[in-house]
Structure 1
């Protein structure tokens, strides 16, 4: 069989894995691979302006498409610049393969130019990583990396590629079924656990479905909808699960946790059964642990057995892919002929009366201060209305992220991209570019803060180079907003290093890159600015100069129970 170079073999593996879009930045250690990419019309390479953005863009691509995202980085600083993006994907369980260049194998360990132990650096924030030392291992390693990234609990996998391995001649290998001795994720639920969970649901009078990002990752939204509507069970979602259940549906209580709705937090606290699907009981959700769902028995569905009973003790553990577990539960209820679904719904009516009272008492709200002041919540509501709730929304991290989560009503999965676990400022804009590469015909908007957007604002050049008409809505309060809010509430308004009074003219900066810049300083200008941004076939940056000291509410202070909310 004709031999090919290692670089050619990598390109063939990418095509074989349907990785037709790669985000990266070239350098000497990966120049051979770049030379092959330019000769491969099957793969589109997106040249970013910073390696962190390459990984975030691949992350956004993966979240929207459901496929494995790919980033290509050179050695040394190219690889280390990508670490924040890798950690972001790891904590949110996003399937990525990161290819990094490395110095030739004979020079590893000699402090060669642009050498760094990226395998050692990323070991804590990857699902797995490899250093390819033998050319015979190259093709199996690339295939294993994709398999590991997408199966079980997804996550980023890094492959470090010495320069001589990419130059070496290798023999192509036919694809084979991958079997790893110590890696056998459980996808199918045990039916006795399914039956136990279903019987608990039948016994409950105040059940709540607590839905996490695993439902999105496993494409289980249809099965979730069937279960919730079949039995009339109210639903609350984590930040990572927004859109997994329609935000406009009568059963939806919105997000729970630190900045969740009053209704969702109270319902969880008073529930007698909590059905957790694809969630990990994060501290931002639970608040004070011994006060979280104190009256509830707990069912926990998760593909990762280490997540079950890790933070909260559960009564029925179900280790399974979320979609398969929910499908099994729906089948169980369909097959139990003696069950009256109408009777089950009637049993929940007092519970829904209570939920309705909570919602009427403390709905999501904000104080309107007239036409001269732009409230950030109003901007998000207007974006929701003018896009019919159908846009793909990315966010950076901070107050704007929470306002987007609260006031944009997500009705579809894979339409909300945000850094949940790591809380990475600078994530949203490159992620939006990645999302736009998947769905060029969809509206993609990055809702940003004036501080966060500056973390990766150089990607305006990337968006312009690839004619990627993403829209950026900056909620500009000239503060590092979320930290400022904490300083206001808990540090007697000592605004230490959170004022951002020196900032670029965002409109002029957009125009300098060849994009469109728009600005609103009054409430009456907001609608027209958004309409113009949606009309223009170009990258658009909207600068909304919002009320400076607006806060995100409800808010659960650190160390408090989720029922101890600060309200508007």
Structure 2
């Protein structure tokens, strides 16, 4: 059949099972939007307040559902406004398709109005990208983009389409999406057998779980593996929910703001089993002293991660779920009572703790966990609140904690929260943000109210850039250079002005009623929690220090 380029875009999206697109229209993409208008009963479009919000919403949709997120933007500034969202998805291996339109082919390279080489701009932050200048290649390009975004280690793909291609006509043949196969041809039986031998010989193994376990859908296999070899489990920020946070073998997060138990345990272990992790600097601390008593067994789908940051003793390349299935079939049940008892003693000795006098973020998150029974999808922005959300909410299922782990994007959370709620309408979705982060994306509150998307926006309002202030307090002689936000901005009035409900909380006894009211309202709600500006995230590892040197407030006081 004969279709124009815009019709081909929509038909290809329908082929791929796309039901939602987040975006913002403009001149060069108008043909595609005109065609989208005719298919609004099949593909829902969410008009965000800013293109960056569209990218984050598509990202949140993808992380929460496991599907590919899709966003649209026009040329020039519309396209460049997607860049931070694309980079966020790239760093955290999120399958995302960004479709932009560009000026017509004869106008390329002429400094045309709103022209930008967005393919060139995004080359370092996409898994692949395309500029389509020939309508006959459009359908195949879109299909390839979806395959690339979903396969192996997922990631974002950008498709830039010139405006004349969106209007040009060609023959279109419908196609069934190519199946996505798990990466198994790289799994070597000899390596599996060597891994089993390493595990059997180990007296003090530790399992370190990352985001790859969630991406591969390997949660059940991770749990079976941990109980079969009877080893304690720690996770990265991206790995939260891959292993139940309520399991006795779970010891909390690893790294700069990880638990003392995990940091000490990994330092003492003789075998570190790394499952879908990238060994970020926030996890390892001083790389030369990280897990220095251990052999490292790393399992990852991406060979580029092997020996990138931490040298391995043995690696297995392949889909984590499939690798663990094969390992679980080979491994015999083991008991390591002495080692596990030692780790449990550390858990008893070094629990997470905070100042319980007055309103604090850890208390708020503990109440949120209690009220939601751990069933909510939590999104966050970046900073102190992000770490507290990782520490004090117990994640028992994958795809329930969405955060910018790699890029650390302030302004990520609200867009991602909207995307997650659109993708999972039957789940309670809550964004936890600091006041500094909320200022970066609060325009997306208008998106939530426009479509009556019932999300809860919790603002942990300490009137400062909290994490930066914490560093300024500890390492910069309390010189608070441009981190104080003590101005008359009123988030409750802002919420009301944008059509949402606003609630202010200043006391501990107000926390539970506020959260319960927000849930019952079933509409966009902003809760402004007023906390002290000098609350700190502990434990903490100083930059350049080894992770076993994690300290807390009591340690600081003891140092004098």
**Which of the five TM-score ranges fits, normalised by the shorter chain?**
over 0.9
Deviation of the 1:502 alpha carbon: 1.4
- CA distance change for structure 1 residues 46 and 187 in 2, over 3 Å: closer, same or farther? farther
Superposition map of 1:267-346 within 5 A: 267-333=265-331, 339=332, 341=333, 344-345=334-335
Superposition map of 1:72-91 within 5 A: 72-91=72-91
Q: Determine the structure 2 residue equivalent to 1:33.
A: 32
Q: Determine the structure 1 residue equivalent to 2:118.
A: 118
Equivalent-residue separation in structure 2 for 1:330 and 1:357 (angstroms) = 28
Equivalent-residue separation in structure 2 for 1:7 and 1:220 (angstroms) = 38
Deviation string, structure 1 residues 221-266 (Cα, Å, up to 9, x no partner): 0111111112211110100010000001101111101000110111
Tell me whether 1:519 sits opposite 2:540 in the alignment: no
Tell me whether 1:67 sits opposite 2:67 in the alignment: yes
Q: Secondary structure at the match of 2:547?
A: coil
Q: Determine the structure 1 residue equivalent to 2:484.
A: 499
Q: Determine the structure 1 residue equivalent to 2:356.
A: 368
Tell me whether 1:102 sits opposite 2:102 in the alignment: yes
Q: Determine the structure 1 residue equivalent to 2:14.
A: 15
Equivalent-residue separation in structure 1 for 2:171 and 2:431 (angstroms) = 45
Superposition map of 1:353-364 within 5 A: 353-364=341-352
Structure 1: segments with no counterpart, 5+ residues: 334-338
Equivalent-residue separation in structure 2 for 1:419 and 1:520 (angstroms) = 27
Q: Determine the structure 2 residue equivalent to 1:172.
A: 172
Deviation of the 1:188 alpha carbon: 5.1
Q: Which of the numbers 192, 195, 217 marks the counterpart of 1:194?
A: 192
Tell me whether 1:457 sits opposite 2:451 in the alignment: no
Tell me whether 1:159 sits opposite 2:159 in the alignment: yes
Equivalent-residue separation in structure 1 for 2:382 and 2:487 (angstroms) = 20
Deviation string, structure 1 residues 16-41 (Cα, Å, up to 9, x no partner): 00111000000011001001111112
Tell me whether 1:533 sits opposite 2:518 in the alignment: yes
Q: Determine the structure 2 residue equivalent to 1:427.
A: 412
Equivalent-residue separation in structure 2 for 1:470 and 1:241 (angstroms) = 24
Q: Determine the structure 2 residue equivalent to 1:47.
A: 47
Q: Which of the numbers 532, 544, 553 marks the counterpart of 1:559?
A: 544
Q: Which of the numbers 198, 202, 205 marks the counterpart of 1:204?
A: 202
- CA distance change for structure 1 residues 503 and 261 in 2, over 3 Å: closer, same or farther? farther
Residue pair 2:285, 2:546 contacting (<8 A) in 1 also: yes
Q: Determine the structure 1 residue equivalent to 2:236.
A: 238
Equivalent-residue separation in structure 1 for 2:223 and 2:90 (angstroms) = 27
Deviation of the 1:7 alpha carbon: 0.3
Residue pair 1:26, 1:74 contacting (<8 A) in 2 also: yes
Residue pair 1:186, 1:303 contacting (<8 A) in 2 also: no
Deviation string, structure 1 residues 316-343 (Cα, Å, up to 9, x no partner): 111101111111101112xxxxx4x2xx
Residue pair 1:187, 1:321 contacting (<8 A) in 2 also: no
Tell me whether 1:352 sits opposite 2:340 in the alignment: yes
Q: Over the residues paired in the alignment, what is the CA RMSD in angstroms?
A: 1.5
Deviation string, structure 1 residues 495-527 (Cα, Å, up to 9, x no partner): 000000115211111011111000111111111
Equivalent-residue separation in structure 1 for 2:83 and 2:22 (angstroms) = 15
Q: Determine the structure 2 residue equivalent to 1:4.
A: 3
Equivalent-residue separation in structure 2 for 1:97 and 1:375 (angstroms) = 39
Please identify, of 189-198 and 285-294, the stretch whose mean Cα deviation from structure 2 is larger.
189-198
Q: Determine the structure 2 residue equivalent to 1:141.
A: 141
Deviation of the 1:529 alpha carbon: 1.0
Deviation of the 1:179 alpha carbon: 11
Q: Which of the numbers 356, 364, 381 marks the counterpart of 2:366?
A: 381
Equivalent-residue separation in structure 1 for 2:215 and 2:399 (angstroms) = 9
Equivalent-residue separation in structure 2 for 1:294 and 1:387 (angstroms) = 40
Deviation string, structure 1 residues 80-99 (Cα, Å, up to 9, x no partner): 01100000000000000000
Deviation of the 1:176 alpha carbon: 6.7
Q: Determine the structure 2 residue equivalent to 1:475.
A: 460
Equivalent-residue separation in structure 1 for 2:31 and 2:133 (angstroms) = 17
What TM-score do the two structures reach when normalised by structure 1? 0.95
Q: Secondary structure at the match of 2:86?
A: helix
Q: Secondary structure at the match of 1:276?
A: strand
Q: Secondary structure at the match of 1:329?
A: helix
Deviation string, structure 1 residues 397-449 (Cα, Å, up to 9, x no partner): 00000000000000010000000000000101110000001111211000110
Residue pair 2:15, 2:177 contacting (<8 A) in 1 also: no
Structure 2: segments with no counterpart, 5+ residues: 554-560
Q: Secondary structure at the match of 2:549?
A: coil
- CA distance change for structure 1 residues 530 and 429 in 2, over 3 Å: closer, same or farther? same
Equivalent-residue separation in structure 2 for 1:222 and 1:361 (angstroms) = 30
Equivalent-residue separation in structure 1 for 2:242 and 2:183 (angstroms) = 23
Q: Determine the structure 2 residue equivalent to 1:57.
A: 57
Equivalent-residue separation in structure 2 for 1:65 and 1:178 (angstroms) = 20
Please identify, of 501-510 and 536-545, the stretch whose mean Cα deviation from structure 2 is larger.
501-510
Segments ≥4 residues shifted beyond 3 Å: 176-180, 183-188
Q: Secondary structure at the match of 1:442?
A: coil
Please identify, of 503-512 and 124-133, the stretch whose mean Cα deviation from structure 2 is larger.
503-512
Deviation of the 1:467 alpha carbon: 1.2
- CA distance change for structure 1 residues 540 and 176 in 2, over 3 Å: closer, same or farther? closer
Residue pair 1:188, 1:324 contacting (<8 A) in 2 also: no
Q: Secondary structure at the match of 1:468?
A: coil
Residue pair 2:417, 2:429 contacting (<8 A) in 1 also: yes
Equivalent-residue separation in structure 1 for 2:480 and 2:215 (angstroms) = 39
Equivalent-residue separation in structure 2 for 1:60 and 1:70 (angstroms) = 11
Equivalent-residue separation in structure 2 for 1:60 and 1:553 (angstroms) = 28
Deviation of the 1:187 alpha carbon: 5.7
Deviation of the 1:173 alpha carbon: 2.4
Residue pair 2:143, 2:177 contacting (<8 A) in 1 also: no
